[in-house]
Amino acid sequence: MKQLSIFLFILLYASAGMAQTPNWLQSGERERNYPNSTFITGFTPGNVRAGESKADAEVRLRKDAQANLTESVLVRVKSEKIKRDERIKTQATGKEENEQIQSFFESTISIYSNLELTGVNVDSYTDDSKGLIYAFAYVNRYELTGYYKGVLTKSLQTLESTLNTAKELESSSEKVKAREQYKNANTQLIEVELAQDVLLALDPNASLQIEKTINYRSEIIKALVRLAQGVHIYIESREDMFGKSSALISNKVKSILSKNGCSFIDDASQADFILKINASARKIGNPGDIVFCYADVEVELKKAGKTVYQEELPPSQETKGGGTTYENAARDAFEKAGKAVAGKLTEWVKN
């Protein structure tokens, strides 16, 4: 009877030990219980390193197992990305677009390299008899597919809304704000493309609107190139210097604003702003050998047919010039007035 009790105890102990052994420890068990058709997995065995605690070793190996799982997906993701990148490159029409494409590719490297899949489970098991720790990461392929389909749908809706806003701002000559929206769309498109690539890695036959996003990429790149050329201004100027025509004020305005991202064009229909300048020189007192003049200047700035800024510059040191002749004094006054006008316009054309 005593021998029977001992045998039963040994049997129960062995059974308890077997029950604690996970069903993923052996490769055959992993293939049977976590088939590739349903699961994506990562497996890492290892031991405790010198100076490392068992708990730290377990954390390290669990991370390695998850990284192995992610890498198996990332290899396919990178393959899909390379195919799409080549198609995007073929749509570029010039140097500036190629530069924008290169900038985009560089911005996506870290995102793709640090891919973190959601819904990943990680288990570990320690075999003290062998001094080994095993870690196993797994995720259900169908659950992951469903999650990223949801991400794709939501991200596409956000992207399309941002693009519509960008187009509306650009058509309203809000170029700075439009450029920011296109940049936001660029970031959102990266999220869309990442979701597409993961889904293609999970299901090569998935229909994920790839053509649409390739067109969006081309559209965003073209818009950023277009908007990078700066604000377009058309100038109508009448500058009277004692009966002689001048362009001193308008030239000074062009010189200063061109350094702030503005371009000056000859076609008013293509301009973001229309600037009207009406100026004349006015003689003032004559102390000693130096004479002085004021530049009487009226400025009007129009955007989309509406006046957004209008001012008659008051007599001040900003519009007062001096010289040995009235002509020289007027030239000095016009130069100063041009600088004053540019200063007043800078914030208007940048916003």
**pTM of the full structure:** 0.58
Together in a domain, 260 and 346 = yes
- Identify whether 23 is part of a domain: no
Name the domain boundary from 197, 229, 261: 229
Is the model's pLDDT at 262 over the cut of 90? Answer: no
Together in a domain, 99 and 66 = yes
Is the model's pLDDT at 32 over the cut of 90? Answer: yes
Total of domains in the chain: 2
| CA–CA dist 73, 54 (Å, integer) | 29
Together in a domain, 204 and 238 = no
Averaged pLDDT for residues 261-273 = 82
- Identify whether 48 is part of a domain: yes
Strand partners, 309: 301
Together in a domain, 187 and 65 = yes
Q: Provide the pLDDT for residue 8.
A: 45
Encode pLDDT of 110-130 as tens digits: 566 667 788 899 999 999 888
Encode pLDDT of 70-110 as tens digits: 888 877 777 666 666 666 666 555 555 555 555 555 555 55
Quick one: the chain helix, strand, coil %, rounded to 5? 55, 20, 20
Averaged pLDDT for residues 196-224 = 83
Q: Sorting pLDDT into bands at 50, 70 and 90, what band is 165?
A: very high
Averaged pLDDT for residues 273-284 = 94
| CA–CA dist 297, 316 (Å, integer) | 11
- Identify whether 124 is part of a domain: yes
* Structural domain for 286, as ranges: 231-350
Together in a domain, 266 and 218 = no
Strands 39-46 and 132-140: antiparallel
Q: Provide the pLDDT for residue 15.
A: 47
Together in a domain, 285 and 220 = no
Name the domain boundary from 169, 198, 229: 229
